Structures are given as C-alpha cells and as structure tokens.
Structure 1
Amino acid sequence: MELKVGDSIPNFTAKDTNGNDFDSKNVVGHKPLVIYFYPKDNTPGCTAQACSFRDQYEDFKDLGAEVIGISSDSADSHQKFAKQYQLPFILLSDSDKKIRKLFGVPTGMFGLLPGRVTYITDKNGVVQMIFDSMLATKHIPKALSAIKKLVL
C-alpha cells in the first residue's frame, strides 16, 4: 500500500525522542501536519534537513502545523540527535519499519537507502501533498508552501 494525495493518514504508534509512546490519533485530524521520513540521524543530508526544519519550525507553528520526523533510528539515537542540533519537533523511532511500510515510503538510491519522503496533511488528516526527493533541503520550502496554501 502506498499513501496518495487524498488518502487519510493511518493510525500508528511509535516511541518518541524521550522514549514515550506516541499515538498518531493525538495529532492526526487536529492540525495540519508535516510528516517527513528520512534515512538516518547524523548523516550530512539528514542533519541538513532536520536543521532546516528546525530553523523554519516557528513558521510552521505560526501556521498551526506540527512537524514530525521519522526514521528507523532508536529513540536513544533520536534523543542525542535532537539534543545536539536543538530540534524542537517530534522525532519518532520506526525501528521495525512498520510506519514506513504503512505509508508506502519507497527506498531510494537503487534500494540501498530508506527513502526521504515528506507528507503534508490538512487538519483533518488527509494527505494534500507528497514530496519524494533525496535532495534533503528541498523538502522544507515545499512543505512550508503547502501548509501556507492550506491555512491562508
């Protein structure tokens, strides 16, 4: 299964940066969301992407949106990554890749790397845009533009 524009975000649970249980039902359907899947903490592209989301985070918050990053790294790894780069948004551990499969995130680089895909949802949890690109920093302006279209 692969999520498409017009689909609703399925329910999922995961461990957050602090090792707490995260349930998507607490945010999906309550506010616009930017859910981005990335390959790995502390790699050059993923760090650039996370820091770009960090630098624009207030712009997303001002529009009423939440940013959620998801990779297969452990909650421990996420905690170090978030602390080192002062990431203010939610990072979720998808160590068994269930969430990635639930969304249908493809692999990148000839199947060698987990894909880098951003999903933008409206406040009802319906996918409004999907951006699939290994170009890490291209995701932030695309996501911000899509959120602005939804709320302004």
Structure 2
Amino acid sequence: MTIEIGQAAPDMELLNDSGEEVSLTDFKGKYVVLYFYPKDMTPGCTTEACDFRDQHESFAGLDAVIIGVSPDSRDKHEKFKQKHDLPFQLLVDDEHKLAEAFDVWKLKKNFGKEYMGIERSTFLLDKEGRLVKEWRKVKVKDHVAEALRELEQIAAN
C-alpha cells in the first residue's frame, strides 16, 4: 500500500545517523521535507544534500525539518553528514520499509544491469503528518528551490 496525497505518513521507526530511533510522527507540529536518495557520497546525491544544506535555514524559517532517507548504513550516513556538514538527519532504511511505503523502491536499470533501488523522490508532509505534495523521479538541478517555493505557498495559507 502506497501513501497518497492527504494520507498520514506511516508510523515506523528507523535509525538515524546518530544511532537514535526516529519516527515521522516525532515531527508533528512541523512541516517535514522527506527526501529519498539512492546512495551516500555519489555525485547526484551529494549535490542534492548540499542544496538542502544550503537552504536549511530557509526551510527552518518556515517551521520545516529536512530528513534524508537511503538504504545506506548508519556509519555511511554519519560520514556523509560530517563530510558535507549536513545540518539535518539522515535515516537508515536498509530494509527499505519506508521506501516501499512511499513507493520509491523500484526496479532500476544501469549499464544493462537491473537491480532494486531508490527512485529519487521528495515528499512534503504538513504539520499533522499528512502528505501534501510529492515529487517523483526528481532531477537534482533546481529541485530544492522548487520544494522551498512550494512550502512557502503552503505555509502562507
């Protein structure tokens, strides 16, 4: 079952980069920008994470938290976060439960090989934890600015 616009985000706990158990319901009362990305330390994922980092204060000013999710280990997340000075949490979804709930765990093809992995996607949750906007098959360029504009519009209403 996939979460759809207007539905509440699933209540499941995942480990973050600091080793703490985190659930999306922990953030009720704030907007949540939940972005799924394939792999730490890769060029596209690094660019996206740094774009979110560079706009972190703008999102925080709108009462939003940014959360990155990938199947990477806590250790990899911790190194990625430290290397790029990321001011937000990264969640470990090594069993891809959250990715499956948001329908971003997909069959992918690269250089003729097929494998399962994350389809780069971003989801915006309202202060009650309901999905209000989604971006699927994200292209990194200008994505974070678009997500910020959307949040500004939603927060203004």
Q: TM-score higher than 0.5 here?
A: yes
Aligned residues with identical type, % of pairs: 35
Please name the residue that 1:24 is paired with. 24
Q: Which digits, 9 at most, give the CA deviation of each residue in 1:80-107, with x for residues without a partner?
A: 0000000000100001111111222142
1:12 Cα deviation from its structure 2 partner:
1.4
Q: Please state whether the residue corresponding to 2:78 is helix, strand or coil.
A: helix
Please name the residue that 1:56 is paired with. 55
Q: CA RMSD in A?
A: 1.5
- Structure 2 unaligned spans of 5+: none
- Kept in 2: contact 1:39–1:46 (CA 8 A): yes
Q: Quick check: 49-58 or 101-110, which moved more? A: 101-110
1:55 Cα deviation from its structure 2 partner:
0.3
Please name the residue that 1:132 is paired with. 136
- Structure 1 unaligned spans of 5+: none
Q: Quick check: 78-87 or 4-13, which moved more? A: 4-13
1:72 Cα deviation from its structure 2 partner:
0.2
Q: Quick check: 133-142 or 12-21, which moved more? A: 133-142
Q: Quick check: 134-143 or 112-121, which moved more? A: 134-143
1:151 Cα deviation from its structure 2 partner:
1.1
Q: Please state whether the residue corresponding to 2:57 is helix, strand or coil.
A: helix
Q: Please state whether the residue corresponding to 1:137 is helix, strand or coil.
A: coil
The structure with the greater share of residues assigned to strand is: 2
Alpha-carbon distance in 1 for matches of 2:67, 2:107: 20
Q: Please state whether the residue corresponding to 1:83 is helix, strand or coil.
A: helix
Please name the residue that 2:6 is paired with. 6
1:108 Cα deviation from its structure 2 partner:
6.4
Please name the residue that 2:146 is paired with. 142
TM-score of the two chains, using structure 2 as the length reference: 0.90
- Kept in 1: contact 2:25–2:129 (CA 8 A): no
Paired residues, number? 151
Please name the residue that 1:114 is paired with. 118
Please name the residue that 1:90 is paired with. 89
- Which amino acid is the alignment partner of residue 135 of structure 2? F
- Kept in 2: contact 1:72–1:97 (CA 8 A): yes
Q: Quick check: 110-119 or 33-42, which moved more? A: 110-119
TM-score of the two chains, using structure 1 as the length reference: 0.92
- Which amino acid is the alignment partner of residue 68 of structure 1? I
Flag the structure with larger Rg: 2
Please name the residue that 2:78 is paired with. 79
Question: Residues 38-57 of structure 1 correspond to what in structure 2 (within 5 A)?
Answer: 38-57=37-56
